[in-house]
Amino acid sequence: MAVKKTAVIVLDCAKPEELAEFHAGLLGGTVGVGDDPDYVEVSDGQGLCLAVHRDYGYAPPSWPRPEDSQQSHLRILVARGDMDEAEREAVGLGARPVDAKDNSGPRDTRTYSDPAGHSFTLAVYAEPTARR
Is residue 71 located within the same domain as residue 124?
Answer: yes
Helix (H, G, I), strand (E, B) or coil at 84: helix
- Domain end residue (candidates: 9, 33, 56): 56
Provide the CATH number for the domain around residue 33. Answer: 3.30.720.120
Question: Are residues 130 and 75 located together in one domain of the fold?
Answer: yes
Do 30 and 10 share a structural domain? yes
By DSSP bridging, strand 9-13 and strand 49-54 are: parallel
pLDDT range class, residue 131, cuts 50, 70, 90: low
Full strand arrangement of the beta sheet holding 119-124: 74-78, 119-124, 109-113, 96-99
For residue 7, the enclosing domain spans 1-56
Contact 4, 19 (CB under 8 A): no
* Gap between the Cα atoms of 121 and 127, Å rounded: 18
Above 70 in pLDDT, residue 38? Answer: yes
Does the reported pTM lie above 0.85?
A: no
Q: Count structural domains, the chain.
A: 2
Mean pLDDT for 70-84 is: 79
